[in-house]
Amino acid sequence: MKAPIAEVLVGREELAAKVEDLAAQISRDYEGKEILLVGVLKGAVFFMADLARRIDAPVALDFMAVSSYGSSTDSSGVVRILKDLDLEIEGRHVLIVEDIIDSGLTLSYLLKNLRSRKPASLEICALLTKPSRRRTEIPCKYVGFEIEDKFVVGYGLDLADHFRTLDFIGVLTPEAAAAIVDHEGSLL
């Protein structure tokens, strides 16, 4: 099925170049240290995989699943941990890898939770950020792209679990987005 995209915000080549740039920055900053990348499921999987392969430092991987959206496009403000880390983070250099920072509520909760586990350092790498939607300040050290307040899909980002596997980041047509939300995740 062809994705009903109204606009491509970030193309495949632009994504690859940005991942390469972020990996180089991270490699310099963590020289001589092992990094524990903590991917926030499911959206960060594609970004984290590409980033991890390009970082020139020892890297370990773990994942958390948190939810504040359900199948809607707006955060509910209630954060739940659906899957916790498998690895201990005390004394480790932890880099949270996130697909997008929107309101900041989920990530704020996650930062507090992980800080309480006493990592040696705790930073954030986000592919996308929407400053106009921020409801709480988030200290994000590594940012791929700052975007306008548009609901985006692709490269891990989804709407009701659709369109994650697109190799670019785009905006759905309003009709497609409405149809998906109206039918609780089922495409027409």
* Model pLDDT for residues 148-168, shown as the tens digit of each residue: 998 899 999 998 888 999 999
DSSP state of 183: T
CA quadruple 167, 171, 173, 175: dihedral sign? positive
Distance between CA atoms of residues 99 and 44, nearest Å = 5
* Domains of the chain in sequence order: 12-152 (3.40.50.2020)
Query: Which is catalytic among the residues 50, 99, 102, 158?
Result: 102
**Of 6-15, 19-28, 84-93, 128-137, the least confident:** 128-137
Measuring CA to CA, how many Å separate 6 from each of 9, 97, 104, 147?
10, 27, 26, 16
Distance between CA atoms of residues 165 and 103, nearest Å = 24
pLDDT in tens, 18-72: 999 999 999 999 999 999 999 999 999 999 999 999 999 999 999 999 877 544 4
Phi first, then psi: what are they for 103, rounded to 5°? -70, -30
At residue 78, the pLDDT reads 75
Q: Please indicate whether residue 84 is annotated as part of the active site.
A: no
Tell me the whole-structure pTM to 2 decimals: 0.88
